[in-house]
A and B are shown apart, each in its own frame.
Chain A
Amino acid sequence: MMAEVTTTTAKDTPKRKGPGYRFNWVGKIGLAIILFWAVVAVVGPWLAPHPPGEIVDWDYFGPVTKDFWMGTDYLGRDIFSRILMGARYTVGIALAAVTLACTLGVILGMVAAVAGGWFDMILSRLLDAFNGIPSLLFGLVVVAAVGSSIPVLVLTLAAIYMPGAYRFARALAVNVNTMDFVTVARARGEGTPYLILREIFPNILGPVLADLGLRFVFIVLVLSGLSFLGLGVQPPNADWGALVRENIEGLSLGAPAVIFPSVAIASLTISVNMFIDNLPTKIRDRSE
């Protein structure tokens, strides 16, 4: 009983919720930038000073001027307007795809870990085989078969990144699954949905979120790759990756056209990771 009396931690129990969910400032900055881009994605078209598809400057790769805040691209279109418009595609498609991929992957991964046996075996091997298909090639085939549209892009990207999320979540869930508290729940007679949602999920949430951040970045990159091949967002619109690709020659001319889309991608991906790495400890390290 001695140890119980001399417990040093936390005597002020009931009011602990408040400080537990507080962000530190790095996380707040990350969140602020993500929110900023999310707002831009929604209201971008109304903010844009020029129509994104229209050639407004006769000089290509124009410098930063009063009219064109971020210069003009290889056809003389306004980069600022194109970035505002591109936010909608990049943020929207990547967010939708990563949410879909991780939700599906994590749920299947947890089910496989809990169910084990043949279900786990067949699902794992199937997804491993799927992982073997090069992602761009897969995208090419899908788009060639059904044509390019935003839902098709989202589904394709989600399909490409789902097996990775599955593998990751399954590996984590297998470890948690052997813990005694899961055995206790099982001995109580609980079913699989309870086991995965209440017992396992809260304990793998931290790493899964970190993985989601990484995957988001990869999806932004693949999306730009698809756009470069003409399979992504269709012209005259473009996502940020496409903006970088199409203006890449401007780099040797010292044009700002390639810099600003890159900065936009960097700001988004870095802030996503800043946000996820600095989630409140309560969510991040539940197990500690």
Chain B
Amino acid sequence: MTNPLVSVRDLRIGATTDAGRKVEIIKGVSFDIEPGEIVALIGESGSGKTTIALSLMGHTRTGCRIDGGNIRLGTSEITAMSERARASVRGTEVSYVPQSAAAAFNPSKRIMEQVIEIAAIHELMPRAEAEKKAVELFRALALPDAEHIGQRYPHQVSGGQLQRLSAAMALIGDPKLVIFDEPTTALDVTTQIEVLRAFKSVMQKGGMAGVYVSHDLAVVAQIADRIIVLRGGEIQEVGSAEQILRAPQHPYTKQLLAAFEPVPHQPVDQPVQAAKPTPVLEVFDLCAGYGPMRDGVPLAKILKNVNFKLERGRNLGVIGESGSGKSTLARAIAGILPAYRGAVMVDGKELKPDLQNRSKDDLQRMQMVFQLADTALNPAHSIGSILARPLTFYEGLRGKAREARVIELLDMVHLPAALRHRLPGELSGGQKQRVNLARALAASPELILCDEITSALDTVVAAAILELLKELQRELGLSYMFISHDLSTVEAICDDVLVMYKGEVVEALPAARMSSEATHPYSRLLISSVPQLDTGWLSGLEQDPELVAQFANR
């Protein structure tokens, strides 16, 4: 048994809050990494996974500091080093692949300059040699046109390519340990596959050890040998990837796995409403776009002739990759972005395309909930006044009656009544999203447009929100239009699914039989690209390369 490459013993990291309070973020974490092994740190946001990963480079984010314990990398004691000595280790012994490659590259310099920067700073090799090595890495990472891609600027390559280039940047100094900080979280599923494959093969070839930080168990299952489950700055469970997935020991790990397992949606039995056979939402030939108008047609056309129908009490999922026009569709239906052609009918009544021309009654029937819960709540208002406003606005409620209704609304989304005195900044992400939902409910709508409402939340929190949505539907007879890029979420809540690609609906499918009934090649590609909770999924995955080339913007 050789010595482990990295050993972390009783690591403690603390921080001082703005209020001057001291908090402990990492509470005595110990683990080892063998040479050539990839260890995944998994946990919800705030569990300290990134903090631990950064500490392996001797780096802490502003305001944090390493309070105790030690970190050893190879023969050097990271925790005992001076800042100068740490700088000499970074890039050569340990390197870092950030979450957002787009933010990690300097947009005004050519890619090659930035990739070989580590070699230049540490004077590892002459420039020509470094460039040759970079091209080899580009090839190993399956980048197209490896010879010349370095001459481009960061905005001239796609997101998936840029993420692989940032891996090349990390690997140029032949580090012993590479830290991946959620490198595929911001990518589309079809792109993610290629990036994961490239990372996996290059790490195997180089025999490097890696730390892979992620919140996504399925992604981690593909790349990691061992998984460390973190929560609240403490290790909950450590085990091989196979063991964690197949036979989790700790209750929290089980909970994580359970949240991942999609529960197929059972359609709510609606009482037969003979009086209202009209669908709650019907869309005909909807076209919308951005930019200056020319002859009544905007410069950038996004939506192209979208048609669909949503029956009362049913849920419609809209899936597609980023840029497919999902959010634009929701905005055009809500009237935030006026459609230039086509019609939106709610309850059989045609709505004006522009928000300003719609009546209060029309607006009240359809409410929208946004993806980012923090930006959707005004940070200057208390939760109580945020919820009270639609009540005053639509129903003219005041005083005691309004207060009672606010408490009732908070209760509906399972939040304590005392929360109404707080400001949005004092709530957690899940609580904020619940408040957003409560605000939509305040208008007593018939239809709620949900735009990626669970995407920014942790798996367990997101599962609870989905549960809440279902419960509200049973009680209030709501209909949802549910936009998501996450197929398992859509599967969990929707009856029907629209697959969107480049502003067009390519296929409409029943959600429960999505994978078996998909016939359009793009739907099949999209569905097959969703990572499964299976360590062998990525290596066993076979996709038609022509199909991939046609539809995925890698």
Q: Which residues of A contact B (CB under 8 A)?
A: 1-4, 6-10, 13-14, 16, 179-181, 183-190, 198-199, 202-203, 205, 286-288
**Pair B380/A202 contact, Cβ less than 8 Å:** yes
User: Which chain A residue has the least Cβ–Cβ distance from B458?
Assistant: A3
29 interchain pairs, CB-CB under 8 A: A3-B45, A3-B429, A3-B430, A3-B458, A3-B460, A3-B461, A4-B428, A6-B232, A7-B427, A7-B428, A10-B426, A13-B419, A14-B418, A180-B370, A180-B376, A181-B378, A183-B370, A184-B368, A184-B439, A186-B336, A187-B355, A187-B368, A189-B393, A202-B378, A202-B380, A205-B380, A286-B379, A287-B380, A288-B425
How far is it, in angstroms, between the C-alpha of A181 and the C-alpha of B390 when the chains are bound? 13
Sorted nearest first, the 4 A-B pairs with minimum C-beta distance are A202-B380, A180-B376, A1-B464, A181-B378
Question: Taking the nearest CB of chain A, how far is it from the CB of B471, in angstroms?
Answer: 13
Cβ contacts under 8 Å, B346 to chain A: none
Whether, in the assembled complex, B485 has its beta carbon less than 8 Å from a beta carbon of chain A, the answer is no
Question: Taking the nearest CB of chain A, how far is it from the CB of B234, in angstroms?
Answer: 11
> With A14-B421, A184-B439, A202-B381 given, is the CB distance from A1 to B363 under 8 Å?
no
Cβ contacts under 8 Å, A202 to chain B: 378, 380-381
**Pair B368/A2 contact, Cβ less than 8 Å:** no
Cβ contacts under 8 Å, A3 to chain B: 44-46, 428-430, 458, 460-461
Contact residues, B335-358 vs A (CB, 8 A): 335-336, 355, 358
How far is it, in angstroms, between the C-alpha of A36 and the C-alpha of B361 when the chains are bound? 55
User: Which chain A residue has the least Cβ–Cβ distance from B45?
Assistant: A3
Q: Which of B23, B358, B377, B422 contacts A189 (CB 8 A)?
A: B358
Given A180-B376, A189-B355: 16 more A-B contacts, CB < 8 Å: A1-B430, A3-B428, A3-B429, A8-B23, A10-B426, A181-B375, A181-B376, A184-B376, A188-B389, A188-B390, A189-B363, A190-B393, A198-B378, A202-B378, A288-B379, A288-B425
How far is it, in angstroms, between the C-alpha of A43 and the C-alpha of B372 when the chains are bound? 55
Cβ contacts under 8 Å, B132 to chain A: none
**Pair A13/B355 contact, Cβ less than 8 Å:** no
How far is it, in angstroms, between the C-alpha of A205 and the C-alpha of B378 when the chains are bound? 13
How far is it, in angstroms, between the C-alpha of A32 and the C-alpha of B307 when the chains are bound? 66
Cβ contacts under 8 Å, A185 to chain B: 389
**Pair A181/B430 contact, Cβ less than 8 Å:** no
**Pair A287/B379 contact, Cβ less than 8 Å:** yes
Whether, in the assembled complex, B71 has its beta carbon less than 8 Å from a beta carbon of chain A, the answer is no
**Pair A186/B355 contact, Cβ less than 8 Å:** yes
Cβ contacts under 8 Å, A13 to chain B: 418-419, 421-422, 426
**Pair A180/B380 contact, Cβ less than 8 Å:** no
Cβ contacts under 8 Å, B458 to chain A: 2-3
Q: Which residues of B contact A (CB under 8 A)?
A: 23, 44-46, 231-232, 252, 255, 334-336, 355, 358, 360, 363, 367-368, 370, 372, 375-381, 389-390, 393-394, 418-419, 421-422, 425-431, 439, 443, 458, 460-461, 464
How far is it, in angstroms, between the C-alpha of A202 and the C-alpha of B425 when the chains are bound? 14
User: Which chain A residue has the least Cβ–Cβ distance from B380?
Assistant: A202
Cβ contacts under 8 Å, A2 to chain B: 44, 231, 252, 255, 458, 460-461
How far is it, in angstroms, between the C-alpha of A202 and the C-alpha of B367 when the chains are bound? 24
How far is it, in angstroms, between the C-alpha of A20 and the C-alpha of B458 when the chains are bound? 31
> With A13-B426, A188-B443, A287-B379 given, is the CB distance from A1 to B461 under 8 Å?
yes
- Which one of B23, B375, B418 has the highest number of Cβ atoms from chain A below 10 Å of its Cβ? B375
Cβ contacts under 8 Å, A8 to chain B: 23
Question: Taking the nearest CB of chain B, how far is it from the CB of A263, in angstroms?
Answer: 35
Q: Which of A7, A9, A10, A183 contacts B336 (CB 8 A)?
A: A183
Question: Taking the nearest CB of chain A, how far is it from the CB of B364, in angstroms?
Answer: 8
**Pair B380/A188 contact, Cβ less than 8 Å:** no
Q: Which of B45, B334, B372, B378 contacts A187 (CB 8 A)?
A: B334
**Pair B381/A9 contact, Cβ less than 8 Å:** no
How far is it, in angstroms, between the C-alpha of A16 and the C-alpha of B231 when the chains are bound? 29
**Pair B370/A184 contact, Cβ less than 8 Å:** yes
**Pair B363/A10 contact, Cβ less than 8 Å:** no
Cβ contacts under 8 Å, B380 to chain A: 202-203, 205, 286-287
User: Which chain A residue has the least Cβ–Cβ distance from B370?
Assistant: A180
Cβ contacts under 8 Å, B231 to chain A: 2
Question: Taking the nearest CB of chain A, how far is it from the CB of B260, in angstroms?
Answer: 14
How far is it, in angstroms, between the C-alpha of A181 and the C-alpha of B383 when the chains are bound? 13
Cβ contacts under 8 Å, B252 to chain A: 2
Cβ contacts under 8 Å, A1 to chain B: 430, 460-461, 464
**Pair B461/A4 contact, Cβ less than 8 Å:** yes
**Pair B431/A7 contact, Cβ less than 8 Å:** yes
Question: Taking the nearest CB of chain A, how far is it from the CB of B419, in angstroms?
Answer: 7
How far is it, in angstroms, between the C-alpha of A186 and the C-alpha of B381 when the chains are bound? 16
How far is it, in angstroms, between the C-alpha of A189 and the C-alpha of B335 when the chains are bound? 11
- Which one of A7, A190, A202, A288 has the highest number of Cβ atoms from chain B below 10 Å of its Cβ? A7
User: Which chain A residue has the least Cβ–Cβ distance from B366?
Assistant: A187
Cβ contacts under 8 Å, B360 to chain A: 189
Question: Taking the nearest CB of chain A, how far is it from the CB of B361, in angstroms?
Answer: 10
Cβ contacts under 8 Å, A183 to chain B: 336, 370
Question: Taking the nearest CB of chain A, how far is it from the CB of B395, in angstroms?
Answer: 12
How far is it, in angstroms, between the C-alpha of A8 and the C-alpha of B394 when the chains are bound? 36
Q: Which of B232, B372, B461 contacts A180 (CB 8 A)?
A: B372
Cβ contacts under 8 Å, B375 to chain A: 179-181
**Pair A188/B378 contact, Cβ less than 8 Å:** no
Cβ contacts under 8 Å, B377 to chain A: 181
How far is it, in angstroms, between the C-alpha of A123 and the C-alpha of B375 when the chains are bound? 29
User: Which chain B residue has the least Cβ–Cβ distance from A5?
Assistant: B428
- Which one of A8, A180, A203 has the highest number of Cβ atoms from chain B below 10 Å of its Cβ? A180
- Which one of A4, A8, A183 has the highest number of Cβ atoms from chain B below 10 Å of its Cβ? A4
Cβ contacts under 8 Å, A188 to chain B: 363, 389-390, 393-394, 443
How far is it, in angstroms, between the C-alpha of A172 and the C-alpha of B485 when the chains are bound? 32
Cβ contacts under 8 Å, B460 to chain A: 1-3
How far is it, in angstroms, between the C-alpha of A138 and the C-alpha of B398 when the chains are bound? 51
How far is it, in angstroms, between the C-alpha of A190 and the C-alpha of B394 when the chains are bound? 10
Question: Taking the nearest CB of chain A, how far is it from the CB of B25, in angstroms?
Answer: 10
Cβ contacts under 8 Å, B429 to chain A: 3
Cβ contacts under 8 Å, B421 to chain A: 13-14, 16
User: Which chain B residue has the least Cβ–Cβ distance from A14?
Assistant: B421
Cβ contacts under 8 Å, B430 to chain A: 1, 3-4
Cβ contacts under 8 Å, B389 to chain A: 185, 188, 198
User: Which chain A residue has the least Cβ–Cβ distance from B334?
Assistant: A187
How far is it, in angstroms, between the C-alpha of A287 and the C-alpha of B23 when the chains are bound? 23
Question: Taking the nearest CB of chain A, how far is it from the CB of B371, in angstroms?
Answer: 8
> With A3-B458, A9-B426 given, is the CB distance from A203 to B379 under 8 Å?
yes
Question: Taking the nearest CB of chain B, how far is it from the CB of A180, in angstroms?
Answer: 4
Question: Taking the nearest CB of chain A, how far is it from the CB of B245, in angstroms?
Answer: 20
Cβ contacts under 8 Å, A288 to chain B: 379, 425
- Which one of B46, B372, B378 has the highest number of Cβ atoms from chain A below 10 Å of its Cβ? B378
How far is it, in angstroms, between the C-alpha of A9 and the C-alpha of B426 when the chains are bound? 6
User: Which chain B residue has the least Cβ–Cβ distance from A17?
Assistant: B421
**Pair B422/A10 contact, Cβ less than 8 Å:** yes
Question: Taking the nearest CB of chain A, how far is it from the CB of B372, in angstroms?
Answer: 6
How far is it, in angstroms, between the C-alpha of A198 and the C-alpha of B378 when the chains are bound? 9
